[in-house]
Amino acid sequence: SLPIIYAITPTYSRPVQKAELTRLANTFRQVPRLHWIVVEDSAQPTDLVRRFLAGSGVRATHLHVLTPRRYKRSGLPRATEQRNAGLAWLRQQYKPQRSAGQSPAQQEYPSGVVFFADDDNTYSLELFQEMRTTQKVSVWPVGLVGGRRYERPVVENGKVVGWYTGWRADRPFAIDMAGFAVSLQVILSSPKAVFKRRGSQPGMQESDFLKQITKVEELEPKADNCTKVLVWHTRTEKVNLANESKHPQDTIKIEV
């Protein structure tokens, strides 16, 4: 059977949240064998997300972890705790059944692919076909990111040899969160690999994570040797609610 794709999506409450999740669900519903791990940045799971997932038609797991207030500042990486909660859930699901003399490294894990899917990006269906064949860590271009039309891994003779980027070219892996996938085997056999807060500079989340599990030479280029954009780092405009407090108020309460 097809390897399962686990899409880990951090999400937080804001006026556009349900619209973002709706767009994502409309994509994911069309992807075979996709398991959506939605991790709310909240102290408690919200009714909105719970109800949404129940009716989404996508196989989903609903988790939550609140980002500590000190990390909610501009310039700091977002959703570190939520992505780690997704990883922790996966590792818990596939906790080794220790039989005599078997180390975790020798365990046979089911085939699967883990992908970090922010709630505001735009994903083509073709992207999931590409990432499905990930052996260890695969990479591909991302559109509308890094102050350019796209960023991409530069590929020569089937190997990644550098990065086409307009921003911080010194990053060991100059790639956005949406630009790579990791096999479940790698996630489970490197249980300490996590996203880091401490010492992590802006834009270094991806590099700090990837250097724990792979080397540039090992990366598997997808999307025709990284020549096609199949995912876009779109960002949603902040909604204008300037008239929200103006009278008259509606007489019923509507979830938006």
Active site residues: 206
Q: Which does 82 bind (CB under 5 to 8 A by kind): ligand UDP, Mn ion, none?
A: ligand UDP
Answer whether 4's CB lies under 8 Å from 110's CB: yes
Q: Does residue number 119 form part of the binding site for Mn ion (CB under 5 A)?
A: no
- For 237, counting Cβ atoms within 10 Å of its Cβ (0-12 exposed, 13-18 middle, 19+ buried), the class is exposed
Contact set for ligand UDP, span 63-82 (CB under 6 A): 67, 72, 78-79, 82
CB 129 within 8 A of CB 138: no
239 binds ligand UDP (CB under 6 A): no
Which of 172, 28, 6 lies closest to 83 in space, CA to CA?
A: 6
State in angstroms the smallest separation of the CB of 14 from ligand UDP.
8
Question: Residue 168 is encoded by which pair of tokens?
Answer: 């911080």
For residues 83 and 119, what is the distance between their CA atoms, to the nearest angstrom?
12
Instruction: Dig out the tokens for 188 from the structure.
Output: 């489970």
> Does 120 interact with Mn ion (rule: CB under 5 A)?
yes
Q: Is 36 in the site for ligand UDP (CB under 6 A)?
A: no
In the bound state with Mn ion, the residue whose beta carbon lies nearer, of 78 and 91, is: 78
Tell me whether residue 38 or residue 137 sits nearer to ligand UDP (CB atom): 38
Helix (H, G, I), strand (E, B) or coil at 223: helix
Q: How far is the CB of 202 from ligand UDP (least distance, A)?
A: 10
Specify the residue, 12 or 173, whose C-beta has the smaller distance to Mn ion.
12
**Of the residues 6, 8, 10, 181, which one makes contact with ligand UDP according to CB under 6 A:** 10
Where are the extended beta strands (E) located within 44-166? 60-64, 112-116, 122-123, 137-139, 142-145, 148-156, 159-164
Q: How far is the CB of 10 from Mn ion (least distance, A)?
A: 10
> Distance between CA atoms of 147 and 167, rounded to whole angstroms?
7
| Contact set for Mn ion, span 89-118 (CB under 5 A) | 118
Cβ-based nearer residue to Mn ion, 81 or 118: 118
For ligand UDP, the binding residues (CB under 6 A) are 9-12, 41, 67, 72, 78-79, 82, 118-120, 235
